[in-house]
Amino acid sequence: MQRHHDLGGLEAGPIDRHEHELAPWEKKVDAILRLLVGRGVMTLDELRRGIEELGPGAYDRLSYFERWIQAIANILLEKGIVEPAELGAAMEEARRRRAVAEAR
């Protein structure tokens, strides 16, 4: 059975193969993943599973690194490393900092 994210063999349109500069937040997501994998907290296989489990709506709506950070958050919640309230507070603080930065 083919899952939603598995596009192998399907018409998907052209692929932009040009390198592009990563946004600062994308670099942070990459660094977070490298730290978690390096410390044995999670594996790349778990990241892949987490991305594949996002479901069609989230998978289609999220960008590449948004899928990564969502999967990382879900795995950390699943393992009990982060509590839902702790994650919610961190997300709210990030939103607040972004709003302040954009207001400048």
Q: From CA 55, how far away is CA 49, in angstroms rounded?
A: 11
| Predicted TM-score of the model (pTM) | 0.79
Extract the tokens encoding 86: 């702790």
Q: Is it true that domain 24-103 has CATH number 1.10.510.10?
A: no
State the average pLDDT for the chain: 89
| Residue located via tokens 């063999």 | 9
> To the nearest whole percent, how much of the chain has pLDDT over 70?
88
Q: Measure the CA dihedral 37/53/19/41, to 10°.
A: -10
pLDDT digit string (tens) for 66-85? 999 999 999 999 999 999 99
Q: From the CB of residue 28, how many other CB atoms can be counted at a distance below 10 Å?
A: 13
- Environment class of residue 50 by beta-carbon count within 10 Å: exposed (0-12), middle (13-18) or buried (19+)? buried
> Which residues 6+ apart lie within 8 Å of 89 measured at CB?
none
Q: From CA 49, how far away is CA 66, in angstroms rounded?
A: 15
Residue-level pLDDT at 8 = 54
For the chain, domain boundaries: 24-103
